[in-house]
Structure 1
């Protein structure tokens, strides 16, 4: 987190995140929604990008992530701990009010000790808890190999990006 840089001068990792989002938007067909799937710490990077770094980037003013799914992330926890660039009072309106952010779906599991709820901490976040076997060593990655997750993901993308397609 210390290497993020600032919104006016992003660090190397945040620069790659921002450039990746810009490239994805540039390659999208007109009207095609921009959908982002993050896992674990990737959620924290996208949160900061959407709430602090993209708003400060004059070249990214029209960039919008229409649907973001954070899987096994710590976004809610980091927000509660005040670890994001924006530091407004909880629950934060920053993500909801960002012109760069659309629907936010946070996927977590009771048995994934590295995943946390975001609903109630981040306004307009929608949580879904996935039931896994409770194997601490594998449940953090279990979402990415779970057919039910991908089926639910596809339905949610269709439902929450309809206005753009």
Structure 2
């Protein structure tokens, strides 16, 4: 059975019965193009289940979508944002580094302190913190936000 994308989004809606959502997630796993799961504007109530599908993917599968995932952290009230944040924190720091630095630059340009605060969660991964040491300026900025949003780092 093939389900069109609009029907799939409707099935992924978190207000649907859990069995419908689970079936939709099973179908969604078959789709290779992950861009369709990056916060589909017309279907905000499907975002959490979209995030579940995204978070199951390998670092290599997510490599092309890192910036879009970081943008998801602009507002932790958005459905699925915590799932995405936790998945990014586990990602290979070398894969994430350039996208994260770009996102920090964007947040600074936009004066989006909340986004900086939420992105600072990534420092929980000491390997990411260490990888960021090449870019001391951004490491320092995120460390300051981490202290404010999440508390002092353990290292």
Common topology (TM > 0.5): no
- Structure whose CA Rg is larger: 2
The higher relative CO (CA closer than 8 Å, separation ≥ 6) is in 1
TM range (shorter): 0.3 to 0.5
More strand by share: 1
TM-score, scaled to structure 2: 0.36
